[in-house]
Amino acid sequence: MPPVTVRPNAQPMPDVAGDAATAARALDWVGMHNIALPLRLRGDDGAVLQVPASVDVLVDLRDPDARGIHMSRLYRQLQDTLVEEPLTPARLRRILQACVESQGALSTSARLTLRFEQLLRRRALISDNSGWKRYPLEIDALLAQGDFTLTLAFSVEYSSTCPASAALSRQLNAERFVEDFAAQSFAAAHPLSTQVVGDWLASERGLAATPHAQRSRAEIRVELLASFDELPVADLIDRAEAALGTPVQTAVKREDEQAFARLNAEHLMFCEDAARRVAAALAADARVQRFDVRVSHFESLHPHDAVAQVSGKGLAAG
């Protein structure tokens, strides 16, 4: 690209931003959405990673007569400071304060929203395998009249096996057992023993029905206590997946698939059960002020989804 030639004796360029506003009114938020930026994050192994992100930056406009804010100052502030060091609550607060100060007397509050994906390496349940899972994240940081609020939103995917369907399947399996072992010809050829019953259960006849299960998703939003040094992204994801018990897997072999089937049998759940499990884990977390949870079971029985929502306070709320 050729260099830009500056005309000698050029007149000052016009700046209409300083003109008085028409229909004068203060504005809640003014700024930019979807700025492309790289972020530096500390991974679950302590290593610093760089990930692409979409960033929103906003400030309030308190002067009703001011036509606009200094938008380019906000853009440069993010370009110069957001990508220098790994994200922490303290760093986000400093950036917000710098955004407010960049506007002079025009603004008293600032807001940052960062959207990106966190990659976490997940080990298989039994075998010596592992794979990467991606978790969509959104961080909302707000500085309003000196008060700092930090909210983290993320989602996890898991398998949900219907308890009602499991009960109905067990009934059919039991009926099949009675049917086969009550038959005189079968009973005569197979005298009842542990071995005979075990062989029958392992055969195709031993499975008259299977419960329906589906991939499901928990969408979680937590307002965090801001007085800690790191963003507890990986730990909160781990807590949510542990509460559900059946997070979707990455690399698997047959022994892992069998272990996953066992977990599904041990964690039968309606969407109501899943929402309560996640809520209980978040309510017991000392870093959480409040939380909102929405779970969606993408039904295999129905053409619609089963959903449940719950909100509450964490231990940080007192």
Per-residue pLDDT of the chain (318 residues; tens, 9 = 90+): 666 666 666 777 666 666 666 678 999 999 999 999 999 887 666 678 889 999 999 999 999 988 889 999 999 999 888 888 888 899 999 999 999 999 999 999 999 999 999 999 999 999 999 999 999 999 999 999 889 999 999 999 999 999 999 999 999 999 999 998 888 677 777 778 899 899 999 999 999 999 999 999 999 999 998 777 788 999 999 999 999 999 999 999 999 999 999 999 999 999 999 999 999 999 999 999 999 999 999 999 999 999 999 999 999 887
For residue 264, what pLDDT is reported? 97
Helices 271-283, 233-244: axis angle to 10 degrees equals 140
For residue 185, what pLDDT is reported? 72
For residue 78, what pLDDT is reported? 92
Q: Are 253 and 123 in contact (CB under 8 A)?
A: no
Q: Maximum distance among all alpha carbons in the chain?
A: 111
CA 246/CA 161 separation, integer angstroms: 10
Q: Which two tokens stand for residue 252?
A: 């698997």
The pair phi, psi for residue 159, each rounded to 5°, is: -100, 135
Cα 217 from chain centroid (whole Å) = 9
CA 248/CA 240 separation, integer angstroms: 12
| Per-residue pLDDT tens digits for 103-133 | 999 999 999 999 999 999 999 999 999 999 9
For residue 3, what pLDDT is reported? 66
For residue 35, what pLDDT is reported? 96
CA 300/CA 173 separation, integer angstroms: 21
For residue 12, what pLDDT is reported? 76
3-state DSSP call for residue 67?
coil
For residue 192, what pLDDT is reported? 81
Class of residue 229 by CB neighbours under 10 A (exposed 0-12, middle 13-18, buried 19+): exposed
CA 18/CA 245 separation, integer angstroms: 58
Distance in Å from the first CA to the final CA of the chain: 59
For residue 244, what pLDDT is reported? 98
For residue 189, what pLDDT is reported? 76
For residue 125, what pLDDT is reported? 97
